[in-house]
């Protein structure tokens, strides 16, 4: 496996892969890789000739007071995991490499799709994501790009961007990988103390409650949201940022009675750690 730290190094690899007609799978990540990332890398490796994993803690998607500085950085371990899952190239650029000048071009998806859910408390987040992912698409020239359903809003925003900007690639979305007890795997889980780790189970458990109610015949969207909120509140360490049920794919206001696929998504603080989780109903 090759580690490319500069755009120039990556370009050499991509040009040679393209010249020999190889397909390229791109897995954009911020590193601190875990089994969730591993599932994306494994899928990319099985569906493409060349698998590129980018590892970049993207400063433009972090707001003031967020965890940009404390975000875990574990490049050596990440390279081992990526190689073990079949990656051919790890692209780990510096911020200067990706953002050479303070005057810069933004790629921004406008409208409610970026304003609801995480967009409410993280107003600049998705502009940072779409900008960096556009740069990565242009650099890695992927045939297919791999993202996790864990970041459900990011998936819908990026799909919109790909459609609107005519990016010539296939978006591949992988299911959420969870710990045995249900907690969605996340690089941010390392912030949790043992007591917080236990308390964090309330996220997946409350989604399960809603799913059970839905499967048992409860179709009223307001009732389903209520069930989740009520269960989250039974955990004293939880502090709800949002619980929302929205129509897919555009994340518009839910139907009163759920008849087609909806996203039930939440962000909850456990101590000082903000965690997200979601399921699709319908």
Please list the active-site residues.
Answer: 37
Q: Is residue 50 part of the contact set for ligand AMP (CB under 6 A)? A: no
Give the footprint of ligand AMP on residues 157-176 (CB under 6 A): 174, 176
**Is the separation of the CB atoms in 183 and 201 below 8 Å?**
yes
Shortest separation between residue 155's beta carbon and ligand AMP, angstroms: 7
Q: Is residue 125 part of the contact set for ligand AMP (CB under 6 A)? A: no
When binding is defined by CB under 6 A, the residue of 13, 78, 88, 151 that contacts ligand AMP is 151
When binding is defined by CB under 6 A, the residue of 125, 144, 150, 231 that contacts ligand AMP is 150
State the Cα–Cα distance between residues 40 and 23, nearest whole angstrom. Answer: 16
Sheet holding 50-55, edge to edge: 2-4, 89-91, 50-55, 24-29, 144-148, 170-174
Q: Is residue 30 part of the contact set for ligand AMP (CB under 6 A)? A: yes
Nearer to ligand AMP, 43 or 224 (CB): 43
When binding is defined by CB under 6 A, the residue of 140, 177, 263, 267 that contacts ligand AMP is 177
Stretch that binds ligand AMP, among 35-43, 210-218, 250-258, 273-281 (CB under 6 A): 35-43
Q: Which residue is nearest to ligand AMP (CB)?
A: 148
**Cα dihedral 81→83→85→88 (10° resolution):** 140
Contacts of 167 (CB under 8 A, 6+ apart): 134, 137, 161
Q: Is residue 185 part of the contact set for ligand AMP (CB under 6 A)? A: yes
State the Cα–Cα distance between residues 81 and 95, nearest whole angstrom. Answer: 23
How many C-beta neighbours within 10 Å does residue 26 have? Answer: 29
Q: Is residue 87 part of the contact set for ligand AMP (CB under 6 A)? A: no
State the Cα–Cα distance between residues 54 and 72, nearest whole angstrom. Answer: 15
- Give the interface with ligand AMP as residue ranges (CB under 6 A): 29-30, 36-37, 39-40, 147-148, 150-151, 174, 176-177, 184-187
């Amino acid at each position: 496996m090759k580690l490319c730290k500069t755009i120039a190094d990556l370009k050499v690899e991509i040009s040679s892969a393209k010249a020999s007609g190889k397909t390229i799978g791109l897995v954009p990540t911020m590193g601190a890789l875990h089994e969730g990332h591993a599932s994306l890398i494994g899928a990319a490796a099985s569906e493409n000739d060349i698998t590129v994993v980018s590892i970049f803690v993207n400063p433009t998607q972090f707001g003031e007071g967020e965890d940009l500085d404390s975000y875990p950085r574990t490049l050596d371990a990440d390279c081992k995991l990526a190689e073990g899952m079949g990656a051919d190239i790890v692209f780990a650029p510096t911020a200067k490499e990706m953002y050479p000048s303070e005057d810069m071009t933004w790629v921004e998806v406008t409208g409610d799709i970026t304003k609801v859910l995480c967009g409410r408390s993280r107003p600049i987040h998705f502009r940072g994501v779409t900008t960096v992912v556009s740069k990565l698409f242009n650099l890695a020239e992927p045939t297919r790009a791999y993202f996790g359903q864990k970041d459900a809003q990011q998936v819908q925003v990026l799909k919109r961007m790909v459609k609107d900007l005519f990016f010539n690639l296939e978006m591949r979305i992988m299911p959420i990988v969870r710990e045995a007890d249900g907690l969605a795997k996340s690089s941010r889980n390392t912030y949790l103390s043992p007591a917080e780790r236990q308390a964090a189970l309330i996220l997946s458990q409350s989604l399960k409650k809603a799913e059970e109610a839905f499967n048992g015949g409860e179709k009223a969207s307001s009732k389903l949201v209520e069930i989740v909120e009520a269960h989250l509140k039974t955990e004293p360490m939880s502090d709800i940022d949002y619980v929302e049920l929205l129509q897919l794919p555009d994340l518009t206001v839910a139907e009163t009675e759920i008849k087609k696929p909806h996203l039930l998504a939440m962000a909850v603080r456990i101590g000082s750690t903000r965690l997200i989780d979601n399921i699709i109903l319908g």
